[in-house]
Structure 1
Amino acid sequence: MTKRGSLTSTILRLMLVLIFISSSLAVYSIINLTFSIGDARAINASGSLRMQSYRLKLFLDRDEKLLNEKISLFEATLHSEALERSLTWYSPDDLSQQYLLVINKWEQMRSHIENNRQDLYSASLKNFVDTIDLLVLEMERFAALKLRILVIGQIIGLFLMLIVATAATRYTRIRMVEPILQLMDVANAISKGNFKVDVPQTEYVELHALGEAFKKTASELDTLYQDLEGQVNDKTIALTRANNELSFLYDNLIRLHADSLDYKSLSSALTHLQQFEDLDYVRLVIEHVDNSVDCIEADNGWIDTNKQEHTADTTQEAQIKPVKYNLQLEDKSLGYIEVISHKPLNNMLFVNFAMMLTRSIVIHNATEERQQLALMEERAVIARELHDSLGQLLSYLKIQVSLLRKQMDPNCITDKVETQLIDINDGVSTAYGQLRELLSTFRLTIKDPNLGQAIEVMLSQLRKQSGIEINLNYQLSPHLLAAKQHIHVLQLTREATINAIKHAKPSKIEIDCFLADSDMIHINIKDDGIGVSHLKERDQHFGIGIMHERATKLHGSVKFDNNPKGGTTVSLVFPPQQEPLNG
């Protein structure tokens, strides 16, 4: 028996060799870079010594305290950590000797300074600076040497990795890739229906196991292939059945949505279901909100099971209990389908049929509600048109009252007549003014989906007309409000602001629009006027009635409250937009 090794172990060993070489190269580079840290700082420090040497010359004849500070700074640089690294064990002797030479010469230069021998300091300065230059040169040579050593090490490491990688590639191609390619040929042969295959021999356990698995799979597929034709026929029958069911559901869906949904169309759909599934009896029971029930049956009617149970002739039909399939949409139950059949029922078909009927009924109810809403909107438009005609009539009456006063004989105008004329004129004027406010509210439109901008445009007009400071704090996101809600909010805000301007005598009006923690939208119109008392005599004012009506359309409420520091706050509270349940 051939002894086989592990493919994963072989690959692991190759990877470990590469990892060892790369790790050694990295460690070598890190060590080299560690010894190179501070080279630039040392070169900069040594270069700084030259500049400080010349600077000391300038301070020789100046303040002694300042001179001592410069000497201390020079010695701090000379004995800094960056330069003292020149004395470490790995530093070249030339660099160490040059550094010590700089220190010795500095001692001489310092003695010249302490003895106040400026001439000697100046004469020795060039030689001292040349010594420092040689120190800088030695440092640069040492840094360049370390860099060359690093480059040589990198080249050697990369060369070794290249050799190992080339050997590993050749080894894996011969011992691993070729057997895998042969296994791929075996797999292609199996995919083309050739199950009589020979697997390649290999020295690795994993590839041998894979080849044996291919061989076993081919054998099992050869066995299964013999039964494949029968399975295909069974699947074809099942798919044909499923296709027929889908066609049945689609035809009934088209039939239910082609015309208005009534009991006749529902009965036709039940009859179609009965014929398709060869049922004995089927009916639809619709449950209404008032607990009333409507039963819709197929063309052959429905068996009275209660009556059959009490007769002597107990048929087989009476022994079969009806099966119910609920018409359920989320938490709302619309009724159920009841079926009696001697044959086993296709539960999935009946569940899908019940779901289709449920959605058709819901869509029908939603359509009916839409039509009702459209009718209500049309009536609202007609009401506005009537208001326009009433406006013309009130204008005409006002003119007629003025003409009547001019045409009456002054001798006939008594105090009582004068009072009545004044009351009529004031009544017509008041009604006309209220109607104009109402019509101006009706004529408000929103051409931009940005409600905040629309309110600001409306308020800018009121600021010009009244001269009152009106501030808007709008903090509502666009998705919180539906388009139908915009016009109601805008009109209600305008009405409340106009009421405050006309009747509260304010100097400032604040309008806040925000979403509260209770997930309710708040529109607050606050003024610093005379308070809510002025509204008591205007409870029947048509504008306030309109405000309550618009709040109701928003499914919210509006209220009027006194402010603690004076003035009135009109608060509109309503929920954010929600898709209506009736569609």
Structure 2
Amino acid sequence: MTTTLAGKKLRFSQSIAIQVLIPMVVIGLLALGSMLVSLLVTVNTQHDAEAINTAGSMRMQSYRIAVLLQQASSGDDTWEATAEALSSEYQLFSKKLYQSSITRAAGKSGQNPIKDNYSRVVDNWESSVVPILSPFLAGQFVSTESITKANENYLALVDHHVADIDNLVLSIQKNTEDKIELLGIYEGLSIFLSFLALVFIVMRADQNLVKPLKDLVRAAEHASIGDFSYRTYYEAVNEIGLLCSTFNDMSASLARHYRKLEDLVNEKTVQLQQSNQMLDFLYSTAQRLSEGPIDRQTLTETITDLKKLTGVSQLSLCLANEASKDQYDLILPAGDQHSCRLDDCVKCFMRPDKKHLAQGETSFPIEDASDNFGFLYVKNENNRALKPWQQRLIEAVAEHLSFAMALQYQEGLSRRLMLFEERSTIARELHDSLAQSLSYMKMQVARISKLFDRNAPEEKIREGLEDLQQGLDAAYKHLRELLTTFRLKLDVPTLYLALKTTIDECDKMKEDIDVVLDYGLVHCPLSPNEDIHVLQIIREAITNAVKHSKANLIELVCEHGDNNKVIFKVVDNGIGIPDNPYKDHHYGLSIMQERAELVHGTLAIGPSSEHAGTTVALTFTPEVFR
């Protein structure tokens, strides 16, 4: 089992578990050995106390034998009683000597003082004491002299015999004490070794577990607050060392990732700020180009801000000259003083159609599908290519300029077209109304002149003058109507507001007439030309209703029809309209009819279907739906 750790090998023997397990096994073995030694000592000393007691009783018996022999020699006891008592003492002593715990103690001790002392006691008993007691033991009659002699012999050796027994007791006692001392030494050694092992375990645990874990906890606390610079100090080749090394590597990796994330966040923040600046600039550019006419100051401000935002070294705006398509007007950012180095715009190297632009130079055309308005020339510092965001921003500005200039051009064209159409309408109205009235009056003047030349009666001349007066009155009246029509202005942003203004003006013409508006056109775009014609027709219809219908309610209804058509109706509750409403020297209805035809619509004039009165209805399809 090996694990790579910072270029080292983690062997099985270097494991903390093994290093802790070995001292614990040693402590366990010491404890087990101590128990085994205690058990052995206990077993070996089990009969030592009994042997000592038995040996002590053997000394007493030796003295009792001496007392019995003394009594027998003095005649206190008969020899039969003495023989019986000595036989009993002999058997008891022999049993203790040969069949007691003393025998077992001497037999299991090997060659040691116990066995030597035991052998001397046995030899002394068998060779010295037993021969003295044998006459008594045999049951033979023993004379007094023999008893006295036996007593003297026994008294002569009893002290030596008792001394041998004492030596045997001392040897047994010393052997027991040696065993107990050995047990104490072993127990003390076991305790000492166990203490050393415990100290070793505590020191190793403190060095390899407690301190490294505390250090890991501190490292984790630093990591929890985002500080990945803290490193653990422990570098031993073991599991904790592997954990610390891995934690250090993880902290270093997280620190690198955090730095990368911070750099990425900073980069994205810069990009977002840059994008925000770009959006603000594009918004302000679009607003600046849409607020009013695109003049030189507006374009100068736009390219000045563009150069400042992109940081390019040179930026030039060349706009096509209206007088010549091969000439361009140069517009530079504020503060740039250099002028064009070429007088011939056809040969200009900055034009988008030129293929020899150097690296770092780019021209962006400003054009739409049909018209070319110029180009935007950009040169970066040190001939470096434009960055993608610079390229996108300049392209967007070029598109804004193209759209704004195209829109301005189309609006100018539309205004000129509207002016031309309105002038054509005015010319037709003048031709159809005032010109015809003047022609009629010219004919009346010629007729009256002829009557004067012929000296015609005064009645005919007066009749001609009255016709001329009526024609003049009608022409003057129609001239005032035309002037009112021509002075009409559409200075409000929507058709609804223009109609509302017209309704308010007509409502004030007579206090007894209510003029109301019911506008139901939603999201219906009309062209400016259609707005003018619709407003003229409705204004004429409401004016006629106010003057001639004798109504007290006039309603303007604007609604959607079928097939994307729109319907404008002027409805009154007046006296109605004749079947043939067209009159001599009155051209209002004819002009309304012509305006309806100009918007490709129909004008219907007739009685109201719901109540008495007149309805003027204009129906047409807006240009956007045609």
Q: Aligning the two structures, in what range does the TM-score lie when normalised by the shorter sequence?
A: 0.3 to 0.5
Larger Rg: 2
